[in-house]
Amino acid sequence: MKLWTVKELATYLAVRPATIYLWVKQRSIPHLVLSRGTRKSCIRFRPDDIQDWLNQRQREVR
């Protein structure tokens, strides 16, 4: 299974990468942190988790 990067997910959702980072910071979107070095973390997203998240949000709006 391919994991999405922030840029790939932003393109898929038609939002800015900054929005994705905000959602990650708020812990409102499912994500994986693959490393925590002295520099930036490596954040990735499972496509299936994102689809489930979108479906859940759609039900909440209705």
> pLDDT tens across 7-28, in order?
999 999 999 999 999 999 999 9
Domain of 50 in residue numbering reads as 6-61
Look at residue 19 and tell me if it is in a domain: yes
Look at residue 54 and tell me if it is in a domain: yes
Task: Report the predicted TM-score, pTM, of the whole model to 2 decimal places.
Answer: 0.84
Look at residue 1 and tell me if it is in a domain: no
Q: If you compute the radius of gyration of the chain from its CA atoms, what whole number of angstroms results?
A: 12
The model's confidence at residue 57, banded by pLDDT at 50, 70 and 90, is confident
When divided into structural domains, the chain yields a total of: 1
CA–CA distance, 49 with 39 (Å, rounded to integer) = 26
Look at residue 47 and tell me if it is in a domain: yes
